[in-house]
Amino acid sequence: MAPQLDLALKHAPLRAPAPLFERGKPASGPRSQPGFMKLLGALAFAFLLALPFIDASAYTISIATSALIYVMLCMGLNVVVGYAGLLDLGYIAFFAVGAYVSGILTTVLDWPMWAAVPATILACVLAGIIIGGPTLRLRSDYLAIVTLGFGEIIRITANNLDVTGGPSGIHGIPTWSFGDWSFRDGLDLFGLHFSGTVLFYYFVAIVVATVGIVGVGRLARGRMGRAWKAVRDDEDAAEAMGINTYFTKISAYIIGAVWAGLAGQLMATHLTAISPNSFHFLYSALILMAVVLGGMGSTPGVIIGGLFVSLAPELLREFAEWRYLIFGVLLVVVMIFRPAGLWPATAVLPWLRRHKPQAWPATAPLESLGGDDRAEVGPAAGARPAPADPRAQDPADDGEVRR
Amino acid sequence: MSALLEVRDLHLRFGGVKAVDGLSFDVHEGEILAVIGPNGAGKTSAFNCISGFYRPTSGTIDFEGRSIMRVLPSTITRRGMARTFQNLRLFKEMTVLDNVKTAMHANLREGFFDTLLHTPRYRRAEEACAREAQGWLDFVGFEGDEQLYVTQLPYGEQRRVEIARALATSPKLLLLDEPAAGLNYGEKQGLMRLIRKIRDLGVGIVLIEHDMGLVMDLAERIVVLNYGKEIADGTPAQIKADPVVIEAYLGAEDDEALDDTTLTGMVATVDDEVPPSGDAGGRSA
Amino acid sequence: MMQLIWNGLIVGSFYSLVALGYSMVYGIIKLLNFAHGDIYMLGAFVGFLVLSSFGGIPAAMSIPALLVILLLAMVVTGLIGVAIERVAYRPLRSSPRLAVLITAIGVSFTLEYGIRQLFGPNPRAFPVRLSSESFDVLGMRVSLSQLVLVVVAAVLMFVLAHIVERTREGRAMRAIALDPQAAHLMGVNVNRVIATVFFIGSALAGAAGVMAGAYYGSIDFLMGFVIGLKAFTAAVIGGIGNLYGAMLGGLLLGLLESFGAAWLGGEWRDVFSFAILIVILTFKPTGLLGARVVERM
């Protein structure tokens, strides 16, 4: 089952010899790691959908909506910090860009909210390039301070300009409307009447957050995600592997910016008003804490972190007063004792079926492999199971190179 | 046959220290060339110039007839020159398989939206990528579990993975920086077989190595550096008999000690990042 | 015009004092001590505590009393700096930079919000105000307190330069900055020297905090945040790791800001200095006095 290599790979002077044996299919099903995570995700999704039927009070739904917005922000920052290893201390600036762009377009220019979505994305891509362009060549610690400076620049600018409403910000951001119908009108579905903008925002937030979570997960496992992690682990080695580290970093930055911008637009509609105070450095730090505490580069960890950071002050009123102090101490403690976070990216849940190491074929032509001293040890090879690929039995075959 | 790599009169200075001082050599397709020299002779610095990590002070470097001066290392790799590092630089928080897959970055037809939407193109690319990566792992004789994180592997296996990773970039020329460092006798024998096998694929190989036995056995041609200067270029037999080389290697214990201190001085003045390692680290030739 | 220069120099000397600590710590362990600005804030609060426990201080005595308190606050903040290094940074010395940086942010939050829990979120009035009598020099209005401030800052910087250039400790610091491993092999007690650096850097920031409290008359738990950023900017302008660079950078930033604010309006002051930071890092990341650094692999 050789895949169509020429469709998948660009022309390259050297192709690998065929593998000596076919690897078994990766584990699947609910007791494998990916299967279990899918199941968990589906359950969480179902719970979110069911929540309004359990407790439809405006308070609950509203908290849940802002928690989802936080999760969206955390997923975006996770790309920047967790995967690409770039410490961004001004991340909230992109949230601000999203919120202000959609706010200004819908109030000043009277655009419908849905039309503001592509504009928000475009603005965030641009903001990512403008902020990332000059700064991403810097060393990691300089980057942290410069992004912090940029975050403050954006906030102070929003505070000083007229078009952004100055210190009082923008009010009366309209709700979503499609033609004549808007969220305010409610909807009759399956004999049920859905009403109240709060509920609609909640569903929009579910959709956006789900897309955000699944999207980041997919990107992280693909070609681009590997490049991000390579840059994080060793920039020089990544460069030596043909990865343009600068563009890779900018791509991570742009993804982070777009995710934050969409979250910003959600928040602008959810709260109908925005002001510069919502984009203080504190919030950048809060999102960063969520990502770090949960586990950088770990989707479940970051979701848990985001939920914790957003829900804890609501659920524990006492806690709200102390939260920044506690978060500060937690950051230090976690970094010293559990730097990979609560749910590390490399975690393998203990009750799941463990992945089985590949077995080498018995008759693999070890001598021709450039194998080490083990090649001389005959009997060890006898213990290996039979090869899955007959090709492996022919020593001459592994020299076959498609050029 | 024109040369794959042509280095002419290469100079590299760090402040006042001449790390590479007038180096010229050629490498041809399917040839194994070794670069040797006492500690701190500028071998790794020369490698770093060729692979684009340092900007040479002067000289020319042509790869397949095109200049690769002032070209990004990633672009040089895409043009077909791969390298390994002296002190293993695998991606530590990635699995063995992902390490090798990462090296196929530039050759993979997989766009942003393919990944996001899991299009057939994405599936095809990922499948081919995994297959190629496994092919290279098998080729280098990696026998461990490819789903392990690289830090879980013994040192010798990590070396193999690094070579597989370099091969996965699909190179015409492979630069190996002390590939035998830290390997035991058996592993070195395996490495020699592997390097010959890579050569048989038609890949040119440049090799920095301290193990003279291995170099004399393996290399078809040897370039000897001392104090950044090229002092000899010839077949192993010629090199063995060259009085200048013998002088450089055996003539002066003091020379080498002196060499170490100058390099340490250099590292201290130009570098606030990395403590001196490798060349200055006192590994004996 | 001259007034702008003088005001710039006053603010600049605060920046310089804080920037010195930034630069020293960065120079020696390559750590961007994010919590450094908060040490400045702590200095102000230590001064506040001591002064308010004494009750009032007669105006005539205010300058000598302030100097005593300054020294006291320097010792306290210096020790706090050493404690922070011991508890939060030392365990992570071999960790990736990202981890240490995040820890520093944690420390910063701990200090800021710890003080907030202790002293409340509202600004406190500093119990001593320096008299604002002023006289004219070269067309600038100069007050006695400003003069004292500049003199104290200059003395502190002079002492620091002496320590680093002339003493054994200073030589050890420079050695570690160049190569920690080699310094260790040469018998330098690396941990002790790093602790000393934290002590000196934090003491300087603490001194700046007390002076700022006395000069501006009001202190709050977030006062270190912006000055931390500005001081970092100053350190980068001068070339991070370079002490004279930090001093120069602080004064320069003070001046630039003073003119920038006069030109663009006070509300753009911070934007202006962050923009300077970004421009400098983009075009000359080594700063004015920084050595050209070849990043070796």
Whether the pLDDT of residue A397 is over 50: the answer is no
Number of H helices, E strands in chain A: 14, 4
DSSP assignment string, B77-105:
HHHTEEE--TT----TTSBHHHHHHHTTG
Quote the radius of gyration of chain B (alpha carbons, Å).
Answer: 19
Contact C294 B54 (CB under 8 A): yes
* Nearest alpha carbon to residue A367 among B220, B197, B32: B197
Least trusted range by pLDDT, from A219-223, A391-395, B14-18: A391-395
* Nearest alpha carbon to residue B138 among B170, B164, B118, B176: B164
Residue A361 has what pLDDT? Answer: 58
Residue B270 has what pLDDT? Answer: 36
Angstroms from B241 CA to nearest CA on chain A: 31
Residue A349 has what pLDDT? Answer: 73
Sign of the CA dihedral with B135 first, then B141, B147, and B150 last: negative
* Nearest alpha carbon to residue A90 among A284, A291, A249, A331: A284
How far is it between the farthest Cα atoms of chain C? 61
Q: What gap in Å lies between CA C106 and CA C284, rounded to an integer?
A: 30
Contact of A163 with A101, CB cutoff 8 Å: no
Contact A240 B135 (CB under 8 A): no
Residue B74 has what pLDDT? Answer: 92
Q: What gap in Å lies between CA B134 and CA B141, rounded to an integer?
A: 11
pLDDT digits (tens, 9 = 90+) for A252-307: 999 999 999 999 999 998 888 888 888 888 899 889 989 988 888 899 999 999 99
Angstroms from C143 CA to nearest CA on chain B: 43
Whether the pLDDT of residue A180 is over 60: the answer is yes
Where residue C268 sits, what CATH number does that domain have?
1.10.3470
Name the residue in chain B with its Cα closest to that of A5: B128
pLDDT digits (tens, 9 = 90+) for C219-272: 888 888 888 888 888 888 888 777 888 888 899 999 988 888 888 877 888 888
pLDDT category at B21 given cuts 50, 70, 90 is confident
Whether the pLDDT of residue C297 is over 60: the answer is no
Mean pLDDT for A13-29 is 75
Whether the pLDDT of residue C295 is over 80: the answer is no
Residue A146 has what pLDDT? Answer: 85
Q: What gap in Å lies between CA A387 and CA A389, rounded to an integer?
A: 5
Residue B265 has what pLDDT? Answer: 37
* Nearest alpha carbon to residue A85 among A303, A283, A286, A249: A249
CA atoms within a 13 Å half-sphere pointing along the CA-CB vector of C157: 25
Whether the pLDDT of residue A236 is over 50: the answer is yes
pLDDT digits (tens, 9 = 90+) for C32-85: 888 899 999 999 999 888 888 876 666 656 677 778 888 999 999 999 999 999
Question: Pseudo-torsion of CA C80, C86, C91, C92, nearest 10°?
Answer: 50
Whether the pLDDT of residue C86 is over 70: the answer is yes
- For residues A274 and C181, the model is more confident at A274
Q: What gap in Å lies between CA B192 and CA B197, rounded to an integer?
A: 9
For residue A348, the tally of other CB atoms under 10 A from its CB is: 9
- List all residues 6 or more positions away from A236 whose beta carbon is below 8 Å from its beta carbon: B53, B73, B85, B89, C297
Q: C36-54 and C190-216 are packed helices; what angle lies between their axes, rounded to 10 degrees?
A: 60
Least trusted range by pLDDT, from A21-30, C83-92, C152-161: A21-30
DSSP 3-state of B230: strand
The gap between the terminal CA atoms of chain C, to the nearest Å, is: 48
Residue B37 has what pLDDT? Answer: 84
The gap between the terminal CA atoms of chain B, to the nearest Å, is: 34
Residue A248 has what pLDDT? Answer: 93
For all residues of chain A together, what is the average pLDDT?
80
State CA B207 to chain mean position distance: 6
Contact of C89 with C104, CB cutoff 8 Å: yes
E strands, C98-243, are: 124-125, 134-137, 140-143, 218-219
Residue B227 has what pLDDT? Answer: 81
> Residue C295 falls within a domain, yes or no?
no
Chain C neighbors of A153, CB-CB under 8 A: 270-271, 274-275
Residue B146 has what pLDDT? Answer: 83
Residue A1 has what pLDDT? Answer: 45
Contact of B183 with B151, CB cutoff 8 Å: no
Q: What gap in Å lies between CA C26 and CA C36, rounded to an integer?
A: 11
Q: C190-216 and C168-178 are packed helices; what angle lies between their axes, rounded to 10 degrees?
A: 100
- List all residues 6 or more positions away from B264 whose beta carbon is below 8 Å from its beta carbon: B276, B280, C179, C182
Residue A355 has what pLDDT? Answer: 60
The owner of tokens 């975050």 is A151
Mean pLDDT for C103-107 is 90
Domain that residue C108 falls in: 2-283
pLDDT digits (tens, 9 = 90+) for B154-179: 888 899 999 999 999 999 999 999 88
- List all residues 6 or more positions away from B254 whose beta carbon is below 8 Å from its beta carbon: none
* C182 reaches A (C-beta below 8 A): no
Contact of A123 with A263, CB cutoff 8 Å: no
Whether the pLDDT of residue A181 is over 80: the answer is no
Q: What gap in Å lies between CA C279 and CA A154, rounded to an integer?
A: 16
Contact of A77 with A91, CB cutoff 8 Å: yes
Alpha helices by DSSP H, A272-382: 281-294, 299-315, 317-337, 378-382
Whether the pLDDT of residue B277 is over 50: the answer is no
Alpha helices by DSSP H, chain B: 43-50, 73-79, 96-102, 112-117, 120-139, 155-168, 185-200, 212-218, 236-241, 243-246, 253-270
- For residues A56 and C73, the model is more confident at C73
* Nearest alpha carbon to residue B103 among B85, B90, B114, B92: B90
Backbone angles phi, psi at B66, to 5 degrees: -110, 140
Output the CA angle B2-B3-B5, nearest 5 degrees. Answer: 150
Q: What gap in Å lies between CA A239 and CA B49, rounded to an integer?
A: 14
Whether the pLDDT of residue A371 is over 70: the answer is no
- For residues A374 and B67, the model is more confident at B67
- Reading the block at residue A99, the tokens are 């919120």
Q: DSSP assignment, residue A368? A: G
For all residues of chain C together, what is the average pLDDT?
83
pLDDT digits (tens, 9 = 90+) for A43-55: 999 998 888 888 7
For all residues of chain B together, what is the average pLDDT?
82
Smallest Cβ distance to A230: which of B73, B102, B114?
Answer: B102
* Nearest alpha carbon to residue A152 among C276, C270, B222: C270
pLDDT category at A240 given cuts 50, 70, 90 is very high
Output the CA angle B44-B46-B52, nearest 5 degrees. Answer: 100
Strands B66-67 and B81-83: unpaired
Mean pLDDT for B29-34 is 89
Sign of the CA dihedral with A178 first, then A180, A186, and A191 last: negative
Mean pLDDT for B21-39 is 87
Q: Averaging pLDDT over each range in A144-158, A209-223, B179-193, which range is the top one?
A: A209-223
Chain A neighbors of B108, CB-CB under 8 A: 8-10, 223
Q: How are the residues of chain B apportioned to helix, strand and coil, as percentages rounded to the nearest 5?
A: 45, 20, 35
pLDDT category at C131 given cuts 50, 70, 90 is low
pLDDT category at A34 given cuts 50, 70, 90 is confident
- For residues B101 and C129, the model is more confident at B101
For chain A, residues classed under CATH 1.10.3470 are 48-337
* B54 reaches C (C-beta below 8 A): yes
- Reading the block at residue A80, the tokens are 């920047």
Smallest Cβ distance to C297: which of B14, B53, B268?
Answer: B53
Q: What gap in Å lies between CA A191 and CA A197, rounded to an integer?
A: 19
Least trusted range by pLDDT, from A104-113, A136-145, A216-225, B187-196: A136-145
Residue A390 has what pLDDT? Answer: 39
Contact A329 C91 (CB under 8 A): no
pLDDT above 70 covers what percent of chain B? 87
Task: Delimit the domains of chain B by residue range.
Answer: 1-80+171-285, 90-170
State the CATH class of domain A48-337: mainly alpha
For A193, the enclosing helix (H) or strand (E) is strand A192-194
- Which neighbouring-strand residues pair with A9? B108
Chain C neighbors of B276, CB-CB under 8 A: 179, 181-182
Q: Averaging pLDDT over each range in A318-327, B180-189, C127-136, which range is the top one?
A: B180-189
- Reading the block at residue B20, the tokens are 């590479």
Least trusted range by pLDDT, from A13-27, A92-106, A317-331: A13-27
Contact of C110 with A329, CB cutoff 8 Å: yes
Q: A92-107 and A140-160 are packed helices; what angle lies between their axes, rounded to 10 degrees?
A: 30
> Residue C290 falls within a domain, yes or no?
no
The third-level CATH classification (topology) of the domain covering B1-80+171-285 is Rossmann fold (3.40.50)
Chain C neighbors of A228, CB-CB under 8 A: none
Smallest Cβ distance to A223: which of B85, B110, B132?
Answer: B110
pLDDT above 70 covers what percent of chain A? 82
Chain A neighbors of C95, CB-CB under 8 A: 335, 339
For B62, the enclosing helix (H) or strand (E) is strand B58-63
Q: What gap in Å lies between CA B158 and CA B142, rounded to an integer?
A: 9
Q: Which chains touch A (3 or more CB pairs under 8 A)?
A: B, C
Backbone angles phi, psi at A280, to 5 degrees: -70, 160
Contact C297 A325 (CB under 8 A): no
Q: DSSP assignment, residue A11? A: -
> Residue C289 falls within a domain, yes or no?
no
Whether the pLDDT of residue A393 is over 60: the answer is no
Q: What gap in Å lies between CA A219 and CA A84, rounded to an integer?
A: 12
Contact of B255 with B37, CB cutoff 8 Å: no
Chain A neighbors of C102, CB-CB under 8 A: 87, 288, 292, 331, 335
Total domains in the fold of chain C: 1
